Amino acid sequence: MESGKAALSTYAEALLQSRSQKRHLLLGNGFSIGVHRAFGYPSLHEAALARDPSLRQLFATGDTNFETALEQCDDPRDEARLREGLIRAVAAVHPEYSLSLTEEQCLSCRDFLEPFVGRNRVPLGLLFTSNYDMLLHWVLSRQGKNPGTKQLSQLKCWDGFSGPGEFKSDGDAQAYYLHGAVHIYDRPQARLPERTYTQMLRYEWGRPLTKQVDAELRAGRTPIFIAEGSSQKKKARQRGEYLSKAKRKFKGVCNGGLDSALFTFGHSFGASDNHIAEEIGVGTLRDVFIGVYSDGDRARADELADVWAVTRRAAGGPPIRVHRFESSECAVWERARQIDVRFSA
């Protein structure tokens, strides 16, 4: 579609249409809420207020959205309190162990990811998430023949972190956390403490990741975690070794031309994520397939189809084709309900 509404597709049709393209996937909070509803804003709001009741005054009556509260906040100190409240709330409601995800849930999610980052997928795409939690990391870590051996799985989806957890900026990773996560931290280098390196926490016997995150927070160490209330502020925070590379990789996808397609799942493209939508609009990517769940999602997909078409024409760029599919067709965490995509993947 060059303007107006996004074209309607089924998920199977979307995969079939993009079978010869390099498929990339952008995950949003709907991905995590699908298996753990406590990641929704009402639960996070409740967890944050349980720890710090004074945060209530920073939210409008009846509103539990942290991003809305952050956008309306004028005091930098209150912004810092809200960000810390959100970080601690995500950690507080998080499942404690990776085994909180059943084997069937992990296998189902693996099947969902395979058309994008499957080991036999040619050409191989990239995976991005704007989520802060560890669910995706757990799924990838449990695909190997041995615990944590992502490279030996049905998926080819290395996150760029070494065995000990250090980020290899010169590596060829396939998965990126666009806004950071509760288990990713900047650390001072041992010999050059004024410089930092990026580390992802690793499982230790008797110390699951959730307990390690709690210990970091108690010690006053904050993870790489972009939780600003406006798109402009989020974009400004996308700096540092890890976030800068994630941003460059997403920009590269958006400029992939006719040979690339971007799928989104569980991502609402809210106002605070306009920097993501804008990157798509000014790029050369031909096909965008937006997973929708609600009437608001459908209206937003139509709006973006029109905005992106206008942006491309104004810049003299190639036309963009926007499609929407019902995200319920994917059944990411429910293998028994997944459609058969073997012949379209």
pLDDT of residue 150: 47
Give residue 26's Cα distance to chain centre: 6
Instruction: Let me know if residue 53 belongs to a domain.
Output: yes
pLDDT of residue 309: 94
48 and 74 inside one domain = yes
Q: Which amino acid is at 339?
A: I
pLDDT of residue 98: 84
Q: Which helix (H) or strand (E) holds 325?
A: strand 321-326
Rg, Å, the chain Cα set: 20
State the DSSP string of 182-235.
TTEEEEE-SS-TTSEEEEE---BTTB-HHHHHHHHHHTTPPPSB---SSHHHHH
Q: CA geometry: angle at 118 spanning 1 and 304, to 5°?
A: 20
Residue position matching structure tokens 């309607």: 8
Per DSSP, the three-state class of 203 is: coil
Last residue in a domain, options 94, 111, 129 = 94
Q: What is the DSSP letter of 295?
A: H
φ/ψ region of 168 (left if φ > 0, alpha if ψ in -120 to 50, else beta) reads beta
31 and 59 inside one domain = no
Domain count of the chain? Answer: 2
Last residue in a domain, options 74, 94, 114 = 94
pLDDT of residue 76: 86
Last residue in a domain, options 78, 94, 110 = 94
Rounded Cα–Cα distance for residues 161 and 151 (Å)? 12
**Contact call for residues 324 and 301 (beta carbons, < 8 A):** yes
User: For the chain, which ranges sit under pLDDT 70?
Assistant: 1-4, 143-152, 228-239, 335-345
Q: Residue 49: count other Cβ atoms within 10 Å of its Cβ.
A: 16
Length of the chain, please?
345
User: What CA–CA distances, in Å, run from 255 to 65, 157, 262, 265, 284?
Assistant: 32, 21, 11, 20, 5
What sign has the CA pseudo-torsion 227, 228, 231, 234? negative
239 and 321 inside one domain = yes
Q: What is the DSSP letter of 145?
A: S
Domain that holds residue 41: 37-94
pLDDT of residue 148: 46
Instruction: Let me know if residue 89 belongs to a domain.
Output: yes
Q: Residues with Cβ < 8 Å from 242, sequence gap 6 or more?
A: 167, 169, 177, 180, 184, 186, 198, 224
Instruction: Let me know if residue 312 belongs to a domain.
Output: yes
18 and 79 inside one domain = no
* Mean pLDDT over each residue of the chain, to the nearest integer: 87
256 and 284 inside one domain = yes
119 and 176 inside one domain = yes
Rounded Cα–Cα distance for residues 179 and 198 (Å)? 14
List, in sequence order, every residue forming a beta bridge with 188; answer none if it has no partner.
196
Instruction: Let me know if residue 163 belongs to a domain.
Output: yes
**Contact call for residues 91 and 81 (beta carbons, < 8 A):** no
56 and 178 inside one domain = no
Rounded Cα–Cα distance for residues 78 and 302 (Å)? 35
| Terminal alpha carbon distance of the chain | 23
Instruction: Let me know if residue 192 belongs to a domain.
Output: no
Q: CA geometry: angle at 147 spanning 170 and 128, to 5°?
A: 45
305 and 238 inside one domain = yes
Instruction: Let me know if residue 195 belongs to a domain.
Output: no
26 and 42 inside one domain = no
pLDDT of residue 243: 93
Rounded Cα–Cα distance for residues 53 and 228 (Å)? 21
13 and 51 inside one domain = no
Strand-strand pairing, 321-326 and 287-292: parallel
Q: Residues with Cβ < 8 Å from 247, sequence gap 6 or more?
A: 178, 238
Q: Which two tokens stand for residue 225?
A: 């975690």
Instruction: Let me know if residue 77 belongs to a domain.
Output: yes
Instruction: Let me know if residue 202 belongs to a domain.
Output: no
Q: pLDDT tens digits for 50-99?
A: 999 999 999 988 889 888 888 888 888 998 899 889 999 999 999 988 88
pTM of the model: 0.90
31 and 42 inside one domain = no
106 and 236 inside one domain = yes
